[in-house]
Structure 1
Amino acid sequence: MRVDVLDRGVVSYADFITLLFAFFVVLYASSQVDKRKVGKLAVAIQVAFQQLGVFETSNTQIPLSDSEAVPFAQVQVVENAERTTDFERFVQPMKGMPSPMKNVQNELEKALAEEIKSKIVNVTLTREGVVVSLREVGFFESGSATMRASSKGSIDRLAAILASRSEFLRIEGHTDNIPIHNARFDSNWELSSSRATEMVKLFIERYHIDASRLSAAGYAEFHSVSQNDTAEGRAQNRRVDIVILNPSRPPIAP
């Protein structure tokens, strides 16, 4: 009788050990799944922060599992392919843009043909829409937000097209990287913002463009389209961009 009780105790203990082993196997398997998920989440977060400019580009490898690792350099290639920088606006114009935006580009190029030929205006199709770049040399006094009197005819033709449409417009001021400090402006931030704001005020007050369609932004020297190590490159960077936003695409963060 005592032997039977002992046997039953041994069997029960063995069952308990088996269940405990199975429990730890499940925990281990779960930890491997979580590790993979955490790895993928880390990649996603790092890519997102890279796109927002929070972290600098890194070649750190982030393991997804014990047997799988993706070098961040490979992730960065994909991420960069989805981004639109100011430089890419002009060297890689967007292909396959919906015809309404292409029509806007064609209309603007026709109206501003002389200015484009003189290289004081550039019209480009981008991911965001159509960008009309007005170079400082043709539209603003040097180091000032005052517009040149000679630019009125060009602005008249540009504004007539903008007023006839309904897309949102973002007016961007840009400078080169040479610091400015005069009686009115302490920095390129102030100069670029003031030029964008003056253009917005002009569109509202003289051309009666709906103010709800307009926004202004100053980027100083940080959204350049050319290198700042030559006089010509700096001249290209000193500009005001009028971005006619494509309504079929979400806006890209600055």
Structure 2
Amino acid sequence: MSSLITSPPPSTEQPVGCQMLCLVGGPYVVRGGHRLNVPEGSKRLLAFIALHGGRVDRRQAAGTLWPEGSDERAAGNLRSAVWRLKSGGIDILLTDKQTLALRPGTQTDVNALCEWAGRLADGCSSIADLRILAWDPEAADILPGWYDEWVICERERIRQRLLHGLEAVVRELINIGRVGDAVEAAMNVVRFEPLRESAQRALIEAHLAEHNRIEARRAFERYSRLLAEEMGLMPSTELADLVTLPVTSL
């Protein structure tokens, strides 16, 4: 039976009694199985704290999030954002005169995802980590539509880490003989980033591991056409060699 799922990897599942700050499709907070919508005026603050390790300096946060105007006005906007959270029943922050921090026990989905990808890249994954992800690529975008510099840099870092994790899932599924699941997982990686050669390589290798050389060739030809149309480029010779070399050479 296929292990295709529509939920995040097990590392993002919320332990009993904890709350999770979600940036994928958010920001929003999950507590006790219930979704709490973050007030509009507080979203950027929570995202900033989550993407900076869960603790930030108040002045740094105020100056980055509200760069226009005086320091006093920025500090006032920060206090207002914190107040909106509490008024909305989202008691997720610990605050003092110098810092803002997520409460102990609060998880973030981006940290959980990065830890999951890290286990796979390091070869320390569990069977549960090998569940196939079936996300909509747009839904998996971190803070879509946000163009602040501090968001753009972190979004790309997390996206790359996630893609490496997904490709590692394919390799591990091939290694343990679950080649059908490996093909399915590889197709999900390609959906995320169809121009990424390492993703296409994972799909081709999965087809070859399943002894479907025709499917491997078709995947290579589709990628070749896409790459030529979108970028005016050709696949690497290393990728081309995969569809001409014997399966035993992989």
TM bucket (normalised to shorter chain) is: under 0.3
Name the larger-Rg structure. Answer: 1
- In the superposition, the TM-score normalised over structure 1's length comes to 0.23
| Bigger fraction of residues in strand | 1
- In the superposition, the TM-score normalised over structure 2's length comes to 0.23
